[in-house]
Structure 1
Amino acid sequence: MSKRYLKAEDLYALKSVADPRLSTNGKDLVYVETSISEEKDEYVSNLFYINVEEKNAPVQWTYGNDRNHSPRWSPTEDKLAFVSNRSGKNQIYVIHANGGEARQVTTSIYGASNPIWSPDGKKIAFNVSLREDEKLEDTDKKEEKKIVPLEVDKMKYKSDSSGFWDGKYSQIAIVELETGKIELVTEGNRDYQLQGWSPDGKSLAVTADFSENLDFSFVSDVFLLELETKKFEKITPGTGYFSGATWSPNGRYIGILGHEREFENATLVKIWVYDTEQKELSCLTAESDLLIGDFAIGDFQQGAVSPGLLWAEDNESFYFLASDRGNTVVYYGSLKGEMYPALLERQHVYGFTTGGELNRAVVAISKPTLQGELFLLDVPTGQLTQLTNVNSEYANEVALAEVEEIEFKSKDDWDLHGWLMKPAQFEEGKKYPLILEIHGGPHAMYANTYFHEFQMLAAEGYAVLFINPRGSHGYGQKFVDAVRGDYGGRDYADLMEAVDYVLEKYDFIDVNRLGVTGGSYGGFMTNWIVGHTNRFKAAVTQRSISNWISFYGVSDIGYYFNAWQIKSELEDAETLWKHSPLAYVGNVDTPLLILHSEKDFRCPIEQAEQLYIALKHRKKETKFIRFPESNHELSRSGKPSLRIARLHYILNWFKEYIK
C-alpha cells in the first residue's frame, strides 16, 4: 500500500512525548504524552510509565481530557508528584506508583506549579502566585473576573507569556503531605523561582532579582534560602542570568547554567559550579565556544523541559545538553574539566534524564522525519534502544520528505550551514518552486528536528531551504554576536547567498518560482527582503517587526531590546529608522501576506498594522490576517484550529502567487 502525503490537519493525529523522568533506581520511567482533542480544540496531556529494563509497553497512569504534566519522583520512589488542571486550575497531585487515585495536595487560589520533593519524601515545595498582601490560606476565595482599570506604574507591566501584570508575584511554599499544612517561605514584592532542595533538607535553591529598580535590571541570581532562618545567601555575582541550579548527591556542589551578559542576550550560556564548602563559584566552560542547553526550534513538541546539569553518584561527574551546528548533543562533564560528547548524532535531543546513573540515560529525540520518541541510551557504547512508538500508525501511513545538509562559504569567507528539503514527491528532471524559511530570535537555531510546516510545504511540491545565518546559536560566540547592530546587513546577505548557492548546485529548483517566509526576527527579515529585492514571487511575514521606533514603546522587551540588538536608543531615531523595513515599503513589489496574533506582546500587532496600511496606501498586493486570542507562540503552542488555519493561509498564498 502506497503512503499518502502530509496535510496540515495531520497535527490532530500526532502525539508528542516529553519531559522523561527516570527514578534513581534506574528502571522506572515516567513521561508526558500530549495529543490534541479536535472536538474540544485543546491539548490533552497524560502521564505514562515504562520499566526500561523490561522494555514493556507503556502503561497509562492518568486519564481524561485535562493537562497532566511535570511528573517528579519521590526520593522513596514509591510516589509521584505532578501538576494537573483537572480542578480548573493547575494544582499539585500525588499518586502512588502501585496504583490508586491521585490525591490533590494544593488548593491555591491561582494554582500551583513546579513540584520539588524534600529529601525525606515528606514534603513538596512548589511555586504559587500571590499578590503582595494576600495569604496562602485564602483557599475559599474565588478569583475575581470583573473588568477593572489597569493601573500601570512600572515598565515591565506586560509579557507575551502571561499578558498584563495583575499584581501577583511568584512565591515559594511547602506542603507537608501527612497533615496538609502549607507554609509560605517567601513573600513580598518580587518574584522567586524554585530550583531545588538541598540533600540535607536545610535549604532551597531559588532564583530572584534583588535589584532595587527592576525596570532597569536584567539579572537573575541563584540564592540559597535557609528554611529555618529564612535567610538568603547569594551565590552568583549579580552580573547576568543564572538559573538551572542542581545539587550534587552529597550536597557539596551546585551546578548552575548562566552567563554574565558580556554580549547581552547573545551571550553563550556556560556551566558554573558553586562549592558550598569553599564558598566559591567557578565557570567550567569559560574558555569554551560551546553553547550549553537546547536552543533548537521547531513547531511540534509540547512540554519540553531543559534538565540543567544531571549529576552522577560520584559527585564529580555530570551530563548536560549542548547546541552545536544544528544538533543538540548529550555531553559528559566533570569537575576536573573533562568535557566530551556522549551522544553525538544528527538529532535534536529535547528531553534528557539519568536518575543519577553514569551509564544509562533516557533521551527524547526528534529528527526531520521523526516527530519525537524516547530512547534508552547505553552511555558506554552509545547504543540507543527505542522505548516509545507513539506515532507508528501515522508513520506507516504518511510519507515525509528527507532533508540534505548544506555547507558553503559566504562572500566574506564565513562558514554557513543549513538544510534543503526536497519535495516529498520529487521526480528527477522536474522543476520545483523553493520556499526560503527564516527563523526567529535571531539567537535561535534551526536543527535536525521535525518541522510540521516544512513537511506540509514539501508535501505540496515545494522545496524548502532553511539555514542558520550569522546571529544564530550553535556556531560560537563570534557568530551569534555578529548580527547585533547589523540587522539587514550581513544576515540578509547570508540568506541571499544561501539561495544563490542552492540555485547553482541543484538544477531542480526553478529560479522564477521563489517564496520566502519567517516569524518574529524571521518576519522582520521577510519584510526587509521584500523591500530590498524582487527575486521572490510571494512572501508571508509572521509576527513581524516593521518599525523599530514604535517597537521601542509597545513591545514587552522593546525599550531594552533596541539597545541590545540594533545598538541604538530612541534618541537616535535615524538609526532605528534605517533598520526598519517600513522605511523601504515603497520598494515592495512582492505580494505580501501578513499574519499576526491579536495578543502578541513580543511583536505587537501594531507592527503589522503599520505595514499593512503603508502597503495598501501604495496600492501594493497584500492581505492581513489577525488571529484572535493568540500570542507570539501561535505557531508552536497556540489553539490547534488556529495553528492549522495559519498553515493553510501560508500554503494558499504561495499557491496563488507562485504558479
Structure 2
Amino acid sequence: MKFSDLPLLQSVSAPTIHPSGDRAVVSVTRPNLEADAYVGQLWEVLLSGVPTARRFTRGFRDTAPQFSPNGRLLAFIRSAPDVAGQLHIVDSLGGEPTTLTEAPLGVIGFRWSPDGTRIAFTARVPEAGRYRTIEGLGPDAEPARRITSTRYKANGVGYTTDRRSQVFLLEVPRADGEPVYPVAPSVDNPKPDRRSGVPKARQLTTGDFDHGDLSFSADVGSLLVVSARHERRDRDLRTDLWHITLGKPGSRARVHAELVTGTEPNRAIRLVEQTASGAILFIAHELGRGGRDFVARHDGLFIIDRPGAPARRLTEAESIDLGDCSAVVVVDDETFLVQNRTRGALHLTAVTAGGQVTALTAGPFEVHGAAAASDTIALSLSAANTVGDVAVLRGGQLQLRTDFSGELRSAGLRPARELVVPARDGHAVHGWVLQPAGDGPHPVLLMVHGGPFSSHTVTVLDEAQVYADAGYAVVMCNPRGSSGYGQRHGRVIRRGFGTLDFTDVIDFLDGALSEFPALDADRLGVMGGSYGGYLTAWITEHDQRFAAAIVERGFLDATAFAGNSDIGTFFGQEYLGTSPDAVRAQNAQEHVQRVNTPTLLIHSEQDLRCPLDQAERYYQALRRQGVDADLVLFPGEDHELSRSGRPRHRRQRFEIILDWWERHLPVTPVPPTTPV
C-alpha cells in the first residue's frame, strides 16, 4: 500500500439488522482526495444466499444507520460538505429520505423508541450568538467567554461549556407523507414564513452539563441518559445514569430528571441499554474512592435487575476488557453481546444475566459492531486483509458477506508476522513485524502506539503498510501499559512512565532484530504519536543507536500539559503522580538535553489533547542545543490528524514522513566517500 492508496481505506460501521434477520445495513466511508473529505453511503447486505451488497443511499456522507423496531424505516445521519449532520429517515425498501432535524451544530447520536413512534437524539445547543447562530457574527466578533470550571474544552470539539450536548425528542412522521411546499408570496402575505417541513423536536434537558448515550424504556414512557450532573463533576471523572419521564406523545409538560446511580460507587458510565423486562445494562469502569483513578481500568458490563437494586458487575475486572465495545446488544432478557479486547484482537462475546461469559468469535481480527435478530448475528470486522467487512454468525460459524477491501489487497498489503519476545525480566512482550519485499538488509522503523492504554492490533494499519511498501521493516509491540493483556499489565507503569514500557519496547526491538536476519540492526529509526511521541522522545534521550526519530502530537511536558490540555486536570496526575520530583523524573522535557538524534516533530494547530506548545517547547530546546530538528505544523487539524484528518493533509503527512526517512535513513544506504 502506498500513501496514494488512502482512498481505498473503506471503513465499515456497526451493522443494523432487519427484524427478519435476512439483511443488514452498514455505512461505508472512505477518504476522498478530490473532495478533501470523508465520503460514504449506506449499503444493504444480504445475510443469506449469494453474498450481495448494494449501495442503498447516495448522500455525500451517510452514517449511523438504525432500522426501526418493525423494520419499515431506516434512520441515519446525513452530512454535506461543511454542513452539520442531520437525522433522516427513509423507507427500508428504498426511496427519498425525509429530514427530521435542523440542529445548528448537528446530531451526535440517536435511538428509536421500542414502538417506533419516537426518536430521541443528542445535539449540542450553542449559546445565543455563538458558532454563527447569528448571520454576520463571526467567531472573532463574539463576546468574551467567562471560564469558571477547570474543564471547558475537548479535542475535536473546542469549547464545550457554551454548547452543551442536550437530549431531544421527536415524533416520527410518516416517510410516505405529503411533502411540505413553500408558500408563494401574495399581496396579503408578501413575505411568507419559511416552512422547512422538518418536525419540531422537543428539548428534554438543559443545564451546564453534557449528555451522552441514551436508551428508551420498554413502555416508551421514559429515557435513561448518561450524564455528569453532580457537584464534583469538575473534579472527578464520574458519570451517572439519569431517568427522564417523557409523558404522552405531544406532551409539553416540564421534564424532570431523576438520578438512578447516585448511591453507587464511582464509575465512568459510557453506554446504557434496557431489556424488555426493565433491567438496566451499562458499560463502565471503576474510578476508586476519589473518582479519578482511570488508569488502565477495564470497562465491564453491569446490570441493575430492578428499580432500586444495586448494580452487579457481570464481567470479571482483571481479564475482560470492554473498553472498545461500541454497544450492548440485547438478544433477550438473559443474553447480551459485547466486544472484548484481548492480545491485539477484539472478539464478540456473549454475557448472561447470571455472569456467564462466552467468546463467540476467535482469531486474528477485530469485531467493531454487531446486531442480532431472528437467531442471526450480523457483525462488522477488520482483519489483516480488510479494513472493514460484514459477516454473519450462524451456528458458531463466521461467514463473510462483503469484500470492501478487494482493491486495497490488489494495491498490495504486506503480511505482519506475530512475535513474542522475553523482556529482560522474563515478561513476554507481544507484537508484530512487517518486512518489505526483497531480501534485505532492510532499515527498521520502531513504531510506538499511543495511549498508553491502547494497543497495536492484528488488523491492517495504514501507517505500517505505507512504510513497508517504501522499503522499511516495521517493528511494533504492546509493552506494559498497553491494553488487551489484563489490568495489571496496563497499570504497572502508573507512576513509572519511561521504565518498564521503555525497556519492553527496546527488548522487543532487539528480539526482532535477532529473529529476522533481513532486518539491519545498524539502520534504525523510531517514531510514535501522543504517548507514543512521549516514548519516542524518551527513547532518544536514553538510547543513541537511532539514526533519526519522529515525535508526533507528543505528550512531552507534563507541567505545561496540566494547564492547557483538555485532559490536563487528571491525566498526568494519575499516570505520573503529583510529586514534583517524580514528575520531573518521568518528564521528557526535563531530559531533552540528552538528545542528539535528528528529530522531526509533527503537530496539529488545533490539538487540544496534546496542545501545540508541547511540540514547540521541545523543538526549541533541541534547536538550542544544536540538534538537527524540524517542526511541521498542520493548520485546522486536531489530535486525530493521522486517523481522521483531512485526506490531503494525511497524504501530505506521509510525504513529509517518507522524505524525513529518506534524508536520515535511506532505504538504499549511501556508500561512504573514499578520501582522496
Q: Give the TM-score taking structure 2 as reference length.
A: 0.89
Instruction: Tell me, yes or no, if structure 1 residue 594 matches structure 2 residue 589.
Output: no
Alignment of 1:597-612 (within 5 A): 597-612=604-619
SS where residue 610 of structure 2 aligns? coil
In 1, Cα distance between the equivalents of 2:259 and 2:22?
A: 36
- Which string of whole-angstrom CA distances, capped at 9 and with x for unpartnered residues, describes residues 503-533 of structure 1? 2222211111011000000000011111111
Cα offset, 1:144, TM superposition: 4.5
Identify if the C-alpha distance between structure 1 residues 214 and 623 changes in structure 2 by more than 3 Å, giving closer, same or farther.
Answer: same
- Segments of structure 2 that go 5 or more residues without pairing to the other structure are 175-198, 248-254, 670-676
In 1, Cα distance between the equivalents of 2:103 and 2:299?
A: 34
In 2, Cα distance between the equivalents of 1:158 and 1:191?
A: 12
Residue 498 (structure 2) aligns with: 488
In 2, Cα distance between the equivalents of 1:633 and 1:576?
A: 26
SS where residue 450 of structure 1 aligns? coil
In structure 2, what residue type is equivalent to 1:404? R
In 2, Cα distance between the equivalents of 1:164 and 1:507?
A: 51
Name which of 78, 81, 85 aligns with 1:84: 78
Identify if the C-alpha distance between structure 1 residues 339 and 146 changes in structure 2 by more than 3 Å, giving closer, same or farther.
Answer: closer
- Segments of structure 1 that go 5 or more residues without pairing to the other structure are 1-5, 295-305
Name which of 301, 310, 320 aligns with 1:290: 320
Residue 385 (structure 1) aligns with: 399
SS where residue 463 of structure 2 aligns? helix
Residue 381 (structure 2) aligns with: 365
Identify if the C-alpha distance between structure 1 residues 367 and 519 changes in structure 2 by more than 3 Å, giving closer, same or farther.
Answer: same
In 2, Cα distance between the equivalents of 1:593 and 1:96?
A: 52
Cα offset, 1:24, TM superposition: 2.4
Name which of 241, 249, 273 aligns with 1:246: 273
Larger Cα Rg: Structure 1 or Structure 2? 2
Identify if the C-alpha distance between structure 1 residues 370 and 108 changes in structure 2 by more than 3 Å, giving closer, same or farther.
Answer: closer
In 1, Cα distance between the equivalents of 2:281 and 2:309?
A: 13
Q: Does the 8 A contact of 1:220 with 1:238 survive in 2?
A: no
In 2, Cα distance between the equivalents of 1:140 and 1:211?
A: 30
Residue 657 (structure 1) aligns with: 664
In 2, Cα distance between the equivalents of 1:184 and 1:54?
A: 45
Residue 48 (structure 1) aligns with: 43
Name which of 434, 457, 476 aligns with 1:421: 434
Name which of 622, 633, 646 aligns with 1:615: 622
In 2, Cα distance between the equivalents of 1:354 and 1:360?
A: 6
Q: Does the 8 A contact of 2:452 with 2:482 survive in 1?
A: yes
Instruction: Tell me, yes or no, if structure 1 residue 184 matches structure 2 residue 203.
Output: yes
Q: Does the 8 A contact of 1:439 with 1:446 survive in 2?
A: yes
Cα offset, 1:120, TM superposition: 1.8
Alignment of 1:321-340 (within 5 A): 321-340=339-358
- Which string of whole-angstrom CA distances, capped at 9 and with x for unpartnered residues, describes residues 450-493 of structure 1? 10110011111111111000000111111000111101111101
Name which of 62, 65, 82 aligns with 2:57: 62
Residue 221 (structure 2) aligns with: 202
Q: Does the 8 A contact of 1:224 with 1:235 survive in 2?
A: no
SS where residue 441 of structure 1 aligns? coil
Name which of 457, 462, 486 aligns with 1:452: 462
In 2, Cα distance between the equivalents of 1:285 and 1:393?
A: 39
Cα offset, 1:218, TM superposition: 1.2
Residue 184 (structure 2) aligns with: none
In 2, Cα distance between the equivalents of 1:39 and 1:269?
A: 40
In 1, Cα distance between the equivalents of 2:91 and 2:133?
A: 28
SS where residue 527 of structure 1 aligns? helix
In 1, Cα distance between the equivalents of 2:519 and 2:94?
A: 57
Cα offset, 1:104, TM superposition: 0.7
SS where residue 448 of structure 1 aligns? coil
Residue 145 (structure 1) aligns with: 138
In 2, Cα distance between the equivalents of 1:467 and 1:234?
A: 41
Q: Does the 8 A contact of 1:354 with 1:360 survive in 2?
A: yes
Residue 510 (structure 1) aligns with: 520
Q: Does the 8 A contact of 2:76 with 2:87 survive in 1?
A: yes
Residue 445 (structure 2) aligns with: 435
Q: What's the RMSD between the two structures over aligned residues?
A: 2.1
In 1, Cα distance between the equivalents of 2:658 and 2:206?
A: 50
In structure 1, what residue type is equivalent to 2:156? S
Cα offset, 1:394, TM superposition: 3.6
Q: Give the TM-score taking structure 1 as reference length.
A: 0.91
Q: Does the 8 A contact of 2:112 with 2:120 survive in 1?
A: yes
Name which of 478, 491, 498 aligns with 2:488: 478
Identity in percent = 28
SS where residue 153 of structure 1 aligns? coil
Instruction: Tell me, yes or no, if structure 1 residue 255 matches structure 2 residue 281.
Output: yes
Identify if the C-alpha distance between structure 1 residues 411 and 193 changes in structure 2 by more than 3 Å, giving closer, same or farther.
Answer: same
Residue 335 (structure 2) aligns with: 317
Instruction: Tell me, yes or no, if structure 1 residue 232 matches structure 2 residue 226.
Output: no
SS where residue 660 of structure 2 aligns? helix
Residue 648 (structure 1) aligns with: 655
Aligned residue pairs total 626
Identify if the C-alpha distance between structure 1 residues 153 and 536 changes in structure 2 by more than 3 Å, giving closer, same or farther.
Answer: same
Moved over 4 A (4+): 131-134, 139-144
In structure 1, what residue type is equivalent to 2:652? A
In 2, Cα distance between the equivalents of 1:595 and 1:518?
A: 10
In 2, Cα distance between the equivalents of 1:133 and 1:544?
A: 36
